[in-house]
Structure 1
């Protein structure tokens, strides 16, 4: 990676420190010549169109006066923002300017209100975009097209007759299969809801809070999955991620209030929220099932995801209506 940096971004030449974590990409912090950057290696796909669309969104966002930061791709000596490696199986690499801030602590949800505000701000801006490039990723509700390795028959078979590595998780898989079947029949109705560009993967791991005040969001990160989808999918993803947190109730309430200051959802969108939160969890399962079937992950990765997804689905069955009510109440409150 140091040779890649010297060749394509010589002004950024310096030391690289590999960052831990991340399922889809490998990240390095770059320090040298008085500047800092983040080098990202895309590990799970070789689709240049996906990266170029992501960068087009980020460049368009940079033209707006936002209250938060977003990553800015740096151009190479030849003027591109993405480089394909000759080795490493032809993986793509990009360099982004470093953004000051901290990842929130795992059990901290004090940033929830600010998270709601900046998510609403982002949603309002993305709604105005009409980019020349077309998004590559499909909306969440297009499950059949998004995961060709996981058609309805395969999912049903895995959930009802688990393969050997998943035998001990029969109860969890039956629940996932049941929810999958329930929501599949209702997804066609999502096509009638308001659509726009959405980030699609906002959660605590894809944001930074300010060093001086951990309750304030400093940046939103990782726009790789940005695509055209139903507008309400953005809060659905985030709200489903608050489940199980120590301060879950306050976090949900604070986020809804912050988000509703910027975006007012229709009654149809709020009605769709419980299904969309379930859809987010099912989508996570299909993502990791696909990785397992294609040999990307070892069985233990899918095993852990099955446990987490099934636990989240149980919580959603109890909490989905309450979260929906919080969003309604937040929308009624004066700004």
Structure 2
């Protein structure tokens, strides 16, 4: 992998000296922070299983569109190589790119200011996504079709994983996983009536950056952006806030008030939020299973997410009515 990074960096910076350091998050691709002449960049080599050239060209066009939207925060635009291209084809059928490093710190979910900034940012970028149009191939990333999110994660390979898990997983968590897979078989759920648009799919704190002024400074990682059910975006963010169950609704209200300045949800979308959260977990777990079969070490990620899914499923059952009323009050 180091030789590929050297090849990638040379396409952008030639023989200039550089230093590298690891990025703190990310399992899907291979990324490094690089410093050249005291300026920082992110160099990324894409996973061959999840990023082909069509999908990368779509991501480049989407991010370029956002750069021209006069947003209140930055997005990491793709830098041109020395030959003028915004990506590099590397040895071994790998693709790579370099983007600017955006300064900031991840939002603190314990901070009402940061939660408000998250809500405002998710609303603002969702509003911008409504206007995006392209003639390019759009990635087939739909979290309601969880068996199609990784080429090595099919209904058959997921069943094989469940039959013979390669590491210890709590039996009750695996039982819930099986039950939800059966409940939400793609052909069993009717979601086509819900509004669709571009969805980022990963607006978690790890892809958001707060600046020194307390305002959102950057939104990162459009790797999973595609056309999907619009309400997946707030559902994924609501789930993120639900990690703090002792005061969930207080912080959820802060988030939703800021989000609603840009976006509203229909009653059909509000009714579906709990199940969209469950589908989000199924999608993550199926992606991890695909990554396992591609040779990645996913044990810690998988066991963490499946335990979180169990806790969230219980919370959603206990708080279904309160959650719905909060959503109706703030975003309907």
TM-score range, shorter chain: 0.7 to 0.9
Paired residue secondary structure (2:22): strand
- After superposition, residues 282-293 of structure 1 pair within 5 angstroms as 282-293=282-293
Distance in 2 (CA, whole Å) between partners of 1:282 and 1:156 is 13
Distance in 1 (CA, whole Å) between partners of 2:161 and 2:38 is 52
- After superposition, residues 72-83 of structure 1 pair within 5 angstroms as 72-83=77-88
Match of 2:45 in 1: 41
Distance in 1 (CA, whole Å) between partners of 2:130 and 2:298 is 39
Deviation digits for residues 251-289 of structure 1 (CA, Å, limit 9, x no counterpart): 211111111111111111111111111111111111112
- Alpha-carbon spacing, 1:319–1:220, altered in 2? closer, same or farther (3 Å): farther
Distance in 1 (CA, whole Å) between partners of 2:164 and 2:249 is 35
Distance in 2 (CA, whole Å) between partners of 1:157 and 1:26 is 27
Number of matched pairs? 326
For the aligned residue pairs, the C-alpha RMSD in angstroms reads 2.6
Equivalent pair of 2:7/2:90 in contact (CA under 8 Å): no
Match of 1:324 in 2: 324
Query: Are positions 1:223 and 2:222 aligned together?
Result: yes
Cα drift, residue 310 of structure 1? 2.4
Cα drift, residue 121 of structure 1? 1.2
- Alpha-carbon spacing, 1:308–1:273, altered in 2? closer, same or farther (3 Å): closer
- Alpha-carbon spacing, 1:80–1:319, altered in 2? closer, same or farther (3 Å): farther
Distance in 1 (CA, whole Å) between partners of 2:210 and 2:165 is 42
Cα drift, residue 144 of structure 1? 3.4
Cα drift, residue 50 of structure 1? 1.6
Distance in 1 (CA, whole Å) between partners of 2:298 and 2:271 is 38
- Alpha-carbon spacing, 1:322–1:10, altered in 2? closer, same or farther (3 Å): farther
Give TM-score, length-normalised by structure 1.
Answer: 0.87
In structure 1, runs of 5+ residues without a counterpart are none
- Alpha-carbon spacing, 1:206–1:131, altered in 2? closer, same or farther (3 Å): same
- After superposition, residues 166-245 of structure 1 pair within 5 angstroms as 166=168, 168-184=169-185, 188-213=189-214, 216-245=215-244
- Alpha-carbon spacing, 1:224–1:321, altered in 2? closer, same or farther (3 Å): farther
Give TM-score, length-normalised by structure 2.
Answer: 0.88
Match of 1:59 in 2: 64
Cα drift, residue 148 of structure 1? 5.7
Cα drift, residue 156 of structure 1? 5.5
Distance in 2 (CA, whole Å) between partners of 1:4 and 1:293 is 27
